[in-house]
């Protein structure tokens, strides 16, 4: 019987992770007071105080936006770490951050250097298909899909991955690679599902050497009949 100590690590909710992050950061009021102190510490009149109060409000709002942006980034990072730990994913640690695309391909994708980018493109294409399925949107055409993948690769080559982006992308890729056999089977099933040409009766059309369709046909009276070829007479061997 399992106990709380030997159970699998619990994944925090987004609200719980956000709460933990906020506890490590100063509040918007603290940031505003620091900014106001640095701005001016001299005696001021009422009119100047009014202007400074308005400025302090703007500082508070800007501080809150900056903190929210930072909280969202750190919360996403914390959630990714929890996901990695819960699923026992082994993500190699990079020497430094941000991480270039070439370094990501070397650490996470692995394999031959000539095959890494091709495998990464496959991962991105399947990720786009998965997102379309989740959002109930039609899959893009093959050309549109290739265009979207190319844009992501160009962005990754131009903008290295931050620590949080590296962890999230690595976890997603490792999950995709683990599910690759089932994904290949699913794609193969879709191709097999394509319908073969059928005759007017809905039966697969088969032709003999003479080009005559052999299937059920309907006569004028509605009765079903079958086309047959005339039997060729058997040749008798000459007696010697």
Question: Long-range CB contacts (< 8 A, 24+ apart) of 43-50?
Answer: none
- pLDDT value of position 43: 66
Show me where the domains of the chain are located: 14-86, 101-187
pLDDT at position 214: 45
**In angstroms, rounded to a whole number, what is the distance separating the alpha carbons of residues 170 and 163?**
11
Residue 192: in which H helix or E strand, if any?
Answer: helix 180-192
- How far apart, in whole angstroms, are the C-alpha atoms of residue 150 and residue 156? 10
Helix axes 14-23, 46-86, angle to 10 degrees: 130
Averaged pLDDT, groups of 10, the chain, 240 residues long: 52 83 77 70 69 76 82 74 68 90 94 92 92 88 94 94 87 87 61 54 49 46 50 60
pLDDT at 121: 95
The β-bridge partners of 161 are 99
Query: pTM to 2 decimals?
Result: 0.48
Confidence (pLDDT) at 162: 87
Contact by Cβ (8 Å): 203, 216: yes
Q: What pLDDT shows up at residue 81?
A: 72
Residues in the chain: 240
């Amino acid at each position: 019987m399992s106990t709380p100590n030997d159970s699998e690590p619990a994944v925090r909710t987004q609200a719980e992770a956000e709460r933990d992050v906020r506890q490590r950061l100063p509040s918007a009021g603290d940031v505003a007071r620091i900014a106001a102190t640095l701005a001016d510490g001299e005696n001021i009149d009422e009119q100047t105080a009014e202007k400074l109060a308005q400025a302090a409000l703007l500082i508070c709002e800007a501080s809150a936006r900056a903190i929210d942006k930072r909280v969202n980034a750190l919360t996403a990072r914390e959630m990714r770490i929890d996901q990695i730990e819960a699923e026992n994913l082994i993500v190699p640690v990079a020497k430094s951050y941000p991480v270039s695309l070439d370094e990501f391909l070397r650490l996470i994708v692995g394999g031959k250097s000539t095959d890494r980018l091709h495998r990464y493109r496959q991962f991105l294409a399947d990720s786009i298909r998965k997102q379309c399925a989740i959002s109930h949107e039609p899959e893009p055409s093959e050309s549109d899909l290739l265009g979207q993948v190319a844009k992501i690769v160009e962005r990754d080559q131009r903008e290295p991955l931050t620590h949080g982006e590296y962890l999230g992308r690595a976890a997603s890729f490792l999950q995709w690679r683990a599910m690759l056999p089932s994904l290949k089977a699913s794609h193969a099933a879709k191709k097999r599902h394509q319908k073969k040409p059928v005759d007017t009766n809905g039966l697969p059309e088969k032709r003999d050497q003479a080009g005559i369709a052999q299937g059920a046909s309907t006569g004028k009276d509605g009765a079903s009949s079958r086309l047959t070829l005339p039997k060729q007479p058997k040749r008798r061997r000459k007696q010697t």
